Amino acid sequence: METLNYENINKKTIWKYNHEVVKIIKDDLDIYIKLNLKPDNDKLVVCSNGAVNLSKSKPPVFMRSKWHEEFNANCIYIDDRTIHHKNLRLGWGVGTKERHFLKDYSEIIQSIANQLSIESNNTVYLGSSAGGYMSMYLATLHKGTTAIVNNPQCYVDRYDKINVEKLYNKIFPEYTRDEIKKKFAVRLSITSLFRIQKHVPKIYYIQNRLCHNDMDRHYNPFCSFLDKYNINSSNITFILYNNKEGGHNPISKEATISITNQVLANEFTLSQF
């Protein structure tokens, strides 16, 4: 594993650590990414993690990192520092009481993209479940980019009670659940972020209509809040599919890679899904 200070991110150091796990030190915090870069390629895919199976993997974890050769893009994989040393399966980039890690991830990704001269309109944030939440969040912070998300959470607090309470007890132990929802709303809600940022990125929101928990807790409330707060949703393409057996599981690797490459090439149409 290589170590790099955030201030020393430049084209030379990025290529030096290509195909490596890199520990980036930013304001005394160690943040982990994996780089898979391609010469003469001006596109970028950034992948975020869903839930981690701690019996099989210990952080840092980089989901989908074996797929990098099949993406027609440079790839960066983000480990979520939130879950380190806390026995948490997922953390949605929430961070600590004092520090929101998604902001740190965004600054690191944007710095690397700038050094590689990758335009925002050639950058895709990709993830499912909690990784979908993080991808929508990061795309909102990185203006001009696109998010491709599959069965994402839109509201951390609406995920299953056990995992949410474990997160809250580890990160915000001195607050009640209601206090957390009010004080840290912008960390826990995509529509709250849209309102604060006054920006909705281009999003391909791919949802299994037959996963009722997702529909009831995230998809339907998301659509309702977009309307309630008059948030312009014209940048969001909703893609519903029907897979009773699939449930919350994401679509196949082949379909995910195909859609991502089509979006990168500006060739995606709904008729191809």
Digit-coded pLDDT (tens) for 149-179: 999 999 999 999 999 999 999 999 999 999 9
User: What's residue 103's pLDDT?
Assistant: 98
Confidence of residue 269 (pLDDT cuts 50, 70, 90): confident
Residue ranges per domain, the chain?
A: 2-272
User: What's residue 271's pLDDT?
Assistant: 67
The phi and psi torsions of 158 (rounded to 5 degrees) equal -95, 0
Q: What is the mean pLDDT of residues 83-104?
A: 97
User: What's residue 273's pLDDT?
Assistant: 60
Confidence of residue 112 (pLDDT cuts 50, 70, 90): very high
**Which position has the token pair 């948030």?**
231
- pLDDT for 193-223, tens place per residue? 999 999 999 999 999 999 999 999 999 999 9
* Fold of the domain built from segment(s) 2-272: Rossmann fold (3.40.50)
* Mean pLDDT, all residues of the chain: 97
Alpha helices in 66-219 (DSSP H): 101-115, 130-141, 161-171, 177-183, 185-188, 190-197, 212-214
- pLDDT for 256-265, tens place per residue? 999 999 999 9
Put simply, whether the predicted model's pTM sits higher than 0.85 gets the answer: yes
β-strands 29-36, 74-78 pairing? antiparallel
- pLDDT for 234-262, tens place per residue? 999 999 999 999 999 999 999 999 999 99
What's the rounded Cα separation, in Å, for the pair 203 and 194?
A: 12
More confident call, 78 vs 57: 78
- pLDDT for 67-81, tens place per residue? 999 999 999 999 999
What's the rounded Cα separation, in Å, for the pair 163 and 41?
A: 39
